[in-house]
Amino acid sequence: MTTPILTAYGTASSAATLPVTMRTLEEEVKVDPKVSNFVLPLGATINMDASLAAMGAAAIPGAGLVTMGIVLKAVGLPLDAIGIILAVDALLDQFRTAINVWGDATAAY
């Protein structure tokens, strides 16, 4: 699982990591392709283990920031706070993506 995790970290995209994760699970872990073809795309779309604010966000880098604006507004915080979050979010996004890909792979296993 090293390759999918490193790919997820490097791309910060569950969608971009999907082919690598599928190949690794099917060839190295011997997960049934029927299972990986169902679970992994579903997980990349809706499973966001690492961030409640990103639930339902697209599986692309920075998508959680869009939903973060909705969350900030819902709890009564100013949208200006996104600027502060943006400063550190790129690094955090890489870690969140790696965690999400790990969760997707675990569900398929």
Q: pLDDT of 13-64, one tens digit each? A: 999 999 999 999 999 999 999 999 999 999 988 887 766 666 666 667 777 7
pLDDT of residue 56: 61
- Would you say residue 75 has pLDDT above 80? yes
Quick one: tokens of 69? 């604006």
- Cα–Cα distance, 68 to 53 (Å, whole number): 6
More confident residue, 100 or 85: 100
Which residue has 């200006």 as its token pair?
A: 80
The domain spans of the chain are 2-108
